[in-house]
């Protein structure tokens, strides 16, 4: 048989294991000379055409692939970077010094670069043939020499690192998913085929590319193809395989066994296009040339990098991210990747701010309470917490207080700055490290400034509640002291001389408007005196400087609630948005407060009290006095006949 080249026919070279230059002696010299000259001219013409074809397929350019942009720790942004086809992987390392970030139109430095090894997928495909089986004078075949060079990979492939290896040999000798090189070499040693009797074809190459293209592990993929010279008609099939290699980022390196002169054969441009077009190389081995180190084929493969940087984005929306790497031959840039991030000002809210508060003016002009602590809470709705640079409190549209250092979120409203009853409109603002300003909604407080109270005697006589209590006490004194004494003197007038009349001094009336009786967990009164409520306005809480009635209870706020006497004589209990709350008869006290009734159960923090109204106390005393008088009158009437009989 022969292979057609144009109008000429060349004898088939692969018919025995005998070297080509020995087989040539079988033909007459003049015939061989004519054929050689013809073939040489034709080969030169074919090389020019295939060289022009090869020029159209250049090697893939170095590139950086950016993926998995993570904005959860914004303004710190992380991205995964995959380098491909760097000019010199041994020199071109990726680190924070030679990598720059392109965010929109700004060039930013990388904060950190972390390398991760994910492993690689290496496939070895062998196309057996007579050229591979050819042996030198020492009896060592080209195939054995190439496989011996291939074993140098054992220095770079580390078991357990995630590397995978596959083997494909014509016609159907196939193994996949080796995890170490030794297992693959054992499979090579067990190959049963006879290379001297096999015709070269691309089955193993096609199968290797198919398996690698279906690998979705994300690992880098590379293919080493050890082959004899294919037939001319079959070589054209290689061009179709190149696009598969490019689509799936498969690097193909080819070791071609044969005589040196085959470099001029028309099959060579097709093989070179597949190798160099995918980022690999073509090596022709006649038996004596130094074999390339295969570790160079996997240098830099299997690595990915996590890059982080501090973003300068200050508004929500879509943004562009790209990378630039300085390499030994120039700058490699990645395509821009679009990502979105949400950046919003902080949300600011007041904590436990009362809707209304009353301030009592003292005789010396002091105010009680003197100030109102104002606290705010800050939340970042975009999910990106950041530090505060400034916080301010605004009252009635004017800056009242500004904090430029910690604690930022605490203010104090001095009531001396507001000496009159008025309506206060409060707003808090904070500025963060991004330069964004968040503000609370306008919150209103009704401030009531009570005047200096009257003198005690005047207040005593003018207050109807005090007069009622005094009247009740007077009636009680008549009932229990004066009338019984008079009746006793009348009954004993005949036997006991009348003593000199002593002027009765009434005890001074106390200014008690109501009382709070401390109860235990079972709502039973504790052995304590009831707490008298002696002022029309009583602020209750934990801070004795702010409150008239303070308790050392950690559940209470510094300023917890307010107890105030209304003009109609009832008490209103108002909660100041406390955390633990204020409760009346197990119902929470709202912002508008609750009118208290005699006997109500009040819970303040972890404390429980029984409320007693001053009015109800006076009524109970009057009722008791009336009942006592009636009982005494009945008793007196019953005793008058006995007295008359005694006189007689």
pLDDT digits (tens, 9 = 90+) for 278-337: 999 999 999 999 999 999 999 989 999 999 999 999 999 999 999 999 998 899 999 999
CB-CB contact of 141 with 132 (8 Å)? yes
Per residue in 590-606, pLDDT (tens digit) is 777 899 999 899 999 88
Joined together, the tokens standing for residue 527 give: 């052995």
HSE-up of 151 (CA within 13 Å, CB side)? Answer: 11
- For residue 283, give the 3-state DSSP assignment: strand
Domains 61-116+301-339 and 345-448 alike in fold: yes
119 backbone φψ class: left, alpha, beta (φ>0; ψ -120 to 50): left
CB-CB contact of 561 with 573 (8 Å)? yes
Q: In the CATH scheme, what is the code of domain 118-295? A: 3.40.50.410
Cα 92 to chain centroid distance, Å, stands at 34
3-state secondary structure labels for all residues of 99-130: EEEEECCEEEECCEEEEEECCEEEEEEEECCH
Q: Indicate if the pLDDT at residue 3 is higher than 60.
A: no
Q: In the CATH scheme, what is the code of domain 512-615? A: 2.60.200.20
pTM for this predicted structure: 0.59
Joined together, the tokens standing for residue 347 give: 């949300």
Q: Cα separation of 156 and 158, whole Å?
A: 6
Domain ranges of the chain: 61-116+301-339, 118-295, 345-448, 512-615
Q: Which residue has the higher pLDDT, 502 or 447?
A: 447
76 backbone φψ class: left, alpha, beta (φ>0; ψ -120 to 50): beta
Q: Indicate if the pLDDT at residue 523 is higher than 70.
A: yes
Q: Indicate if the pLDDT at residue 68 is higher than 50.
A: yes
pLDDT of the residue at 624: 55
pLDDT of the residue at 468: 63
Q: Does domain 345-448 have CATH number 3.40.50.10440?
A: no
Q: Cα separation of 288 and 298, whole Å?
A: 24
Per residue in 531-547, pLDDT (tens digit) is 999 888 889 999 998 88
Q: Which residues of 450-478 are buried (b: 16+ CB within 10 A; e: fewer)?
A: eeeeeeeeeebeebebbebbbebbebeeb
CB-CB contact of 380 with 344 (8 Å)? yes
- Span 83-87, average pLDDT: 89
Q: Cα separation of 139 and 123, whole Å?
A: 28
Fold of domain 61-116+301-339: Immunoglobulin-like (2.60.40)
Per residue in 352-361, pLDDT (tens digit) is 888 999 888 8
């Amino acid at each position: 048989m022969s292979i057609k080249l144009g109008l000429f026919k060349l004898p088939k070279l692969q018919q025995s294991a005998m070297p080509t230059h020995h087989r040539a002696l079988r033909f007459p010299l003049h015939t061989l000379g004519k054929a050689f000259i013809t073939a040489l001219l034709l080969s030169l013409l074919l090389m020019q055409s295939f060289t022009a074809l090869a020029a159209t397929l250049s090697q893939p350019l170095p590139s950086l692939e950016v993926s998995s942009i993570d904005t959860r720790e914004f303004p710190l942004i992380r991205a995964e970077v995959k380098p491909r086809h760097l000019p010199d992987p041994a020199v071109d390392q990726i680190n924070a010094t030679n990598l720059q970030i392109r965010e929109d139109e700004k060039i930013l430095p990388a904060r950190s670069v972390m390398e991760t090894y994910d492993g690689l997928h290496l496939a070895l495909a062998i196309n057996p043939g007579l050229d591979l089986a050819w042996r030198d004078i020492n009896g060592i075949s080209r195939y054995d020499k190439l496989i011996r060079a291939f074993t140098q990979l054992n220095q770079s492939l580390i078991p357990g690192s995630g590397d995978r290896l596959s083997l494909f040999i014509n016609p159907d000798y196939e193994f996949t998913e080796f995890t170490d090189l030794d297992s693959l070499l054992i499979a090579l040693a067990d190959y049963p085929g006879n290379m001297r009797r096999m015709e070269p074809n691309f089955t193993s190459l096609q199968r290797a590319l198919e398996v690698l293209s279906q690998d979705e592990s994300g690992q880098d993929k590379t293919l080493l193809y050890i082959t004899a010279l294919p037939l001319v008609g079959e070589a054209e099939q290689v061009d179709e395989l190149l696009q598969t290699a490019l689509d799936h980022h498969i690097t193909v390196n080819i070791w071609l066994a044969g005589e040196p002169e085959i470099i001029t054969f028309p099959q060579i441009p097709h093989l070179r296009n597949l190798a160099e077009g995918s980022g690999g190389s073509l090596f022709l081995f006649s038996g004596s040339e130094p074999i390339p180190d295969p570790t160079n084929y996997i240098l830099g493969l299997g690595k990915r990098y996590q890059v982080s940087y501090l973003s300068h984005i200050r508004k929500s929306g879509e943004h562009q991210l790209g990378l630039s790497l300085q390499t030994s031959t120039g700058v490699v840039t990645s395509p821009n990747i679009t990502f979105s991030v949400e950046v919003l000002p902080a949300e600011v809210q007041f904590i436990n701010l009362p809707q209304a508060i009353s301030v009592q003016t003292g005789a010396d002009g002091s105010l009680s309470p003197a100030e109102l602590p104002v606290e705010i809470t800050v939340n970042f709705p975009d999910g990106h917490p950041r530090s505060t640079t400034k916080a301010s409190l605004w009252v009635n549209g004017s800056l009242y207080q500004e904090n430029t250092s910690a604690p930022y979120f605490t203010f104090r409203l001095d009531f001396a700055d507001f000496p009159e009853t008025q309506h206060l409109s409060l707003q808090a603002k904070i500025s963060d490290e991004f330069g964004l300003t968040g503000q609370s909604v306008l919150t209103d407080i009704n401030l009531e400034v009570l005047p200096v109270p009257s003198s005690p005697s005047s207040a005593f006589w003018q207050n109807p509640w005090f007069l009622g209590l005094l009247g009740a006490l007077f009636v009680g004194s008549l009932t229990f002291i004066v009338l019984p004494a008079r009746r006793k003197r009348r009954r004993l007038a005949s036997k006991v001389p009348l003593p000199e009349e002593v002027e009765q001094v009434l005890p001074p009336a106390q200014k008690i408007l109501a009382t709070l009786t401390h109860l235990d967990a079972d709502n039973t009164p504790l052995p304590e005196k009831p707490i008298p409520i002696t002022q029309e306005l009583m602020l209750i809480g934990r801070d004795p400087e702010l409150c008239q009635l303070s308790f050392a209870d950690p559940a209470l706020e510094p300023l917890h609630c307010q107890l105030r006497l209304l003009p109609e004589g009832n008490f209103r209990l108002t909660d100041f948005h406390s955390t633990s709350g204020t409760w009346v008869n197990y119902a929470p006290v709202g912002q508008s407060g609750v009118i208290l009734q005699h006997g109500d159960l009040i819970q303040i923090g972890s404390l429980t009290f029984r409320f007693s109204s001053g009015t109800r106390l006076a009524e109970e005393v009057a009722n008791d006095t009336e009942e006592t008088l009636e009982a005494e009158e009945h008793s007196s009437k019953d005793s008058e006949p006995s007295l008359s009989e005694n006189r007689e």
